[in-house]
Structure 1
Amino acid sequence: MIIAITAFRLPQPITPEEARRIFLGTAPTYQGVPGLLKKHYVLSEDGGTAGGVYLWNSRAEAEALYTEAWRAFVADKYGTDPTVTFFDSPVTVDNLAQQVFAPD
């Protein structure tokens, strides 16, 4: 599995309530995306940086999302360019499902 972490500075800090409203507005965009297992929206404690932590089946499926069109969408919506960092995730602990995943 692959984890992608996106981040972008906001032009002005926002509150957790504002972030929730904004993120709920974009959440449907990520439903049904091929290979995307989970997305966690994130907001820094000072409200000045936002982004996401994504869990993917594969790097190729992740890269299919982070296109120039996606980058333009983020820049248009939030007024800044995002960064994307990829990590391999050889083992995942899911305490909600009470499982450990270690794909071959």
Structure 2
Amino acid sequence: MITAVTTFRLPRPFTREEARSIFRSTAPLYRGVQGLFRKTYVLSEDGMTAGGIYFWNSRGEAEALYTDAWRARAREKYGADPAIAYFESPVVVDNVAEQILADA
């Protein structure tokens, strides 16, 4: 499993309400994306950094999303280019499903 963390250093602080509005406008785009099993939107306390934490089945599926078109849409919404960091996630604790998941 892979966790991808995207961050955007914003050109100005976003309020929680502004961020929530943008996040809600883009959230439907992530429903049904191949290999993505969860996305969490994030906003820093000072409102200067926004981003997402994505939980993927594989890095290849993650990389398939982060295309030039995705980057352009993100730049339009946030006024900043995204940074993407990938992390191996060999074990995930899911308290909602009451499971501990481990990759093969």
TM-score tier after normalising by the smaller chain length: over 0.9
Moved more, 72-81 or 27-36: 72-81
> What 5-or-longer segments of structure 1 have no aligned partner?
none
Matches within 5 A, 1:78-97: 78-97=78-97
Q: TM-score, normalised by structure 2?
A: 0.96
In 1, the alpha carbon distance for the partners of 2:97 and 2:17 equals 28
Residues in 2 aligned to 1:70 and 1:4: alpha-carbon distance in whole angstroms: 14
Q: Could you tell me the percent identity over the aligned residues?
A: 64
CA–CA separation in structure 2 for the residues paired with 1:66 and 1:14:
23
Asked whether the 8 Å contact 2:8–2:82 carries over to 1, the reply is yes
Q: How far off is 1:103 after superposition? A: 2.0
Give every structure 1 segment of 4 or more consecutive aligned residues whose post-TM-superposition deviation is greater than 4 Å: none
Matched, 1:32 2:32: yes
> Matched residue pairs, number?
104
Once residues 75 and 16 of structure 2 are traced to their aligned partners in structure 1, the CA distance between those partners, rounded to angstroms, is 20
Cα separation, 2, equivalents of 1:18 and 1:68: 25
Unpaired segments of 5 or more residues in structure 2? none
The letter of the residue matching 1:59 is R
Name the residue aligned to 2:99.
99
Q: CA RMSD in A?
A: 0.7
Q: For residue 15 of structure 1, report the CA deviation from its aligned partner.
A: 1.3
In structure 2, what residue type is equivalent to 1:65? L
TM-score by length of 1: 0.96
